[in-house]
């Protein structure tokens, strides 16, 4: 199908983009890897597309106050090639190769994925697992929203239609940081039937600050809080059991909810071993 007619504007700055968004029924265009499909299928019919690809400064990676700041326009492929991401944001580095295929990773952006918030996507779950922050510019200025409150429902987030996500901040990994990632998809590169992104702090042999965030099992990334507590107590079996109450995945085109819950238990054991420094199951 072809999209409904729309006007097109290139934003020259974040302020310009916000102004264009303010006066129109508009959508931002970043990598276009989700937006163009929704336009073509006429799931969305904005009057104006605001292209932010030429906005200077949004593709930077920088550091301050123990955090790594990843600009919204940093493309997946750029992040995959950046040594600082591998060293300081290892969970993101683990997740990136699972996103689609090279052609998609050449265009798709970190900000587009976090902003779009597909519940089966890898990066929104990593963002929550790392307890990140979204930097949002809007008509009333800039605000910072914690990942735990960013996602509010299916494709709903703290972003309003007038906002631009300019960057995400993540804590820089230290020698105590442990991360884990696993997903089960029908073919490599497909959206996952179920996936798990995790982070924790390792103090001697014990884990603390355990954050287990599943994707593909709900309307947003889902924290498994019972399993987090069990893992912090060192009990993998109890963590796997807790999945039954932590998660209530709906049936979808990929699999029935009961299957997804079963897969989540498998993923939990694999990721728990990564967090504990052992081999994957």
Ligand X SMILES: Cc1cc2nc3c(=O)[nH]c(=O)nc-3n(C[C@H](O)[C@H](O)[C@H](O)COP(=O)(O)OP(=O)(O)OC[C@H]3O[C@@H](n4cnc5c(N)ncnc54)[C@H](O)[C@@H]3O)c2cc1C
Nearer to ligand X, 199 or 254 (CB): 254
- Residue 157, interface with ligand X (CB under 6 A)? no
Cβ count within 10 A of residue 60: 12
Q: State which of residues 68, 115, 125, 271 lies at the interface with ligand X (CB under 6 A).
A: 115
Q: What residues from 91 to 110 belong to the interface with ligand X (CB under 6 A)?
A: 99-100, 104, 108-109
Determine the Cα–Cα distance for residues 41 and 186; give it in Å rounded to an integer.
24
Find the shortest distance in angstroms from Cβ 112 to ligand X. Answer: 2
- Please report whether residue 72 would count as binding ligand X according to CB under 6 A: yes
Q: Does 274 bind ligand X (CB under 6 A)?
A: no
By beta-carbon proximity to ligand X, the closer residue of 18 and 227 is 18
* Minimum CB–partner distance for residue 17 and ligand X (Å): 9
Cα-only R_g, the chain? 19
Residues numbered 33 to 62 that lie near ligand X (CB under 6 A) are 33-35, 37
Output 75 or 178, the one with its CB closest to ligand X. Answer: 75
Residue 31 has what DSSP assignment? S
Residue among 33 and 274 whose Cβ is closer to ligand X: 33
The sign of the torsion formed by the CA atoms of 24, 161, 17, 15 equals: positive
The distance in angstroms from the start CA to the end CA of the chain is 44
Find all residues with CB under 8 Å of 222, minimum gap 6, and list them: 213, 214, 215, 246, 247
Instruction: Decide if residue 159 touches ligand X (CB under 6 A).
Output: yes
Q: For residue 232, with 0-12 CB atoms within 10 Å meaning exposed, 13-18 middle and 19 or more buried, which class applies?
A: middle
Buried b (16+ CB within 10 A) or exposed e, 110-126: bbbbbbbbbbbbbbbbb
Distance CA 79, CA 281 (A): 28
Shortest Å, Cβ 73 to ligand X? 7
Among 74, 128, 164, 193, binds ligand X (CB under 6 A): 164
* Residue (of 73, 46, 168, 57) closest to 159 by Cα position: 168
CB of 51 to ligand X, least distance (A): 9
| Residue 180 binds ligand X (CB under 6 A) | no
Binding to ligand X (CB under 6 A): which residues in 4-33?
27-33
The residue number whose beta carbon is nearest to ligand X equals 112
Binding site for ligand X (CB under 6 A): 27-35, 37, 72, 99-100, 104, 108-109, 111-113, 115-116, 118, 121-122, 159, 164-165, 191
């Amino acid at each position: 199908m072809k999209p409904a007619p729309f006007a097109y504007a290139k934003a020259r700055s974040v302020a310009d983009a916000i102004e264009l968004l303010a006066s129109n029924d508009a959508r931002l265009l970043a990598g276009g890897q989700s937006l163009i499909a929704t336009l073509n299928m006429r799931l969305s019919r904005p009057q104006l597309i605001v292209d932010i690809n030429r906005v200077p400064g949004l593709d930077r990676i920088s550091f301050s106050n123990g955090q790594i700041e990843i600009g919204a326009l940093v493309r997946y492929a750029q992040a995959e090639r950046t040594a600082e991401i591998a060293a300081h944001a290892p969970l993101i580095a683990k997740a990136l190769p699972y996103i689609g295929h090279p052609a998609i990773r050449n265009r798709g952006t970190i900000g587009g994925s976090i902003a779009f918030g597909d519940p089966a996507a890898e990066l929104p779950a990593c963002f929550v697992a790392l307890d990140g922050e979204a930097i949002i510019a809007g008509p009333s200025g800039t605000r910072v929203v914690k990942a735990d409150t960013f996602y509010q429902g299916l494709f709903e987030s703290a972003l309003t239609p007038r906002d631009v996500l300019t960057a995400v901040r993540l804590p820089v990994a230290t020698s105590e940081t442990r991360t884990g990632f696993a997903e089960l998809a029908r073919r490599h590169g497909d959206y996952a039937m179920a996936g798990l992104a995790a982070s924790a702090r390792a103090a001697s042999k014990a884990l603390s600050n355990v954050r287990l965030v599943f994707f593909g099992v709900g309307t947003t990334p889902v924290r498994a809080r019972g399993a987090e507590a069990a893992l912090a107590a060192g009990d993998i079996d109890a963590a796997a059991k807790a999945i039954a109450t932590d998660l209530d995945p709906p049936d979808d085109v990929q699999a029935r909810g009961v299957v997804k819950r079963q897969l989540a238990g498998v993923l939990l054991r694999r990721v728990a071993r990564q967090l504990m420094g052992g081999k994957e199951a």
